[in-house]
A and B are shown apart, each in its own frame.
Chain A
């Protein structure tokens, strides 16, 4: 079945550095991808909607200059956390769907970011 691959699964970085997280659809073309953030023991909160070939749509309260999203192809969306700070430490998870109206949403395995 359809699979969404997210890389890396874990990353530790120093405060002030930038981290890039990749979300790939492996056997389907993902016209739309979603990026969620999940703090420990909390729910998933939508950060942004990423559409191939256009600018991402950010949810209220999400800093677009801090969380850069690029959806340059139908199989890849990237989330870059710029100038990361400890409060950015979280679990980031992407989801993707293809063009079919009956197609479900597929989630990646998530990326656990720790900023020291």
Chain B
């Protein structure tokens, strides 16, 4: 069975602070995909990143960066110089295929205060 754990239920930071959202996963599959999504108050899911299990390279996209470590089964997400618009619920998800059904973590609610 697959499982995704986002231990941080809520995080509150002040604007311009850096913040890291943790994600730990469990799977018996050797090939799998990890995702991060942003869900603003309006409800839609915004895709942020997909990473397959064979690619452990860290990725940076603007103020966002991701640290994938298979040794610790973690796929952490860091926002640098946070902004108020980053306030949302962030979900980490796991799938055994590129676009198959996903197992979601419980989400981390990030509040960035001005």
- Tell which of B37, B91, B102 has the most Cβ of chain A within 10 Å: B102
In the bound complex, do residue B44 and residue A43 qualify as a contact, i.e. CB atoms below 8 Å apart?
no
Contact indicator B101/A34 (Cβ below 8 Å): yes
Which residues of B (55-99) have their CB < 8 Å from a CB of A? Answer: 91, 95, 98-99
Size category of the binding interface on chain B: 20 to 34
Interface of A is mostly: strand
B25 within 8 A of A: no
The interface stretch among A14-22, A62-70, A71-79, A98-106 is: A98-106
Give min CB distance, B57 to chain A, whole Å: 17
Binary per-residue interface labels of chain B (17-49) against chain A in the complex, 1 for a CB within 8 Å, 0 otherwise:
000000000000000000101000011110100
Q: B50 an interface residue at 8 Å Cβ cutoff?
A: yes
> Is A25 in contact with chain B by the CB < 8 A criterion?
no
Count of A residues near B, CB < 8 Å?
23
Contacts A43-B91, A44-B91 given; indicate if A105 touches B44 (C-beta within 8 A).
no
A49, CB-defined interface residue at 8 Å: yes
| B contacts with A: majority SS | loop
Whether A93 sits at the interface, judged by CB under 8 Å, is yes
Query: For A102, what are the chain B residues with a Cβ–Cβ distance below 8 Å?
Result: 98
How many whole Å from B7's CB to the nearest CB in chain A? 13
**A contact residues around B107 at 8 Å (CB):** 42-43
B105 touches A43 (CB 8 A): yes
Q: Which residues of the other chain, B, contact A104 by a CB distance below 8 angstroms?
A: 47, 50, 98-99
Bound form: Cα–Cα A93–B101 in Å? 13
B44→A110 contact, CB < 8 A:
yes
Q: Would A91 and B43 be within 8 Å (CB), given that A43-B104, A43-B105, A104-B50 are in contact?
A: yes
Is B99 touching A105 in the complex (CB atoms < 8 A)? yes
B99 touching A110, Cβ below 8 Å? no
Question: Which B residues are within 8 Å of any A CB, using their own CB?
Answer: 35, 37, 42-45, 47, 50, 91, 95, 98-107
Given A44-B91, A93-B43, 6 new contacts (CB under 8 A): A42-B106, A43-B107, A44-B104, A46-B102, A107-B47, A110-B43
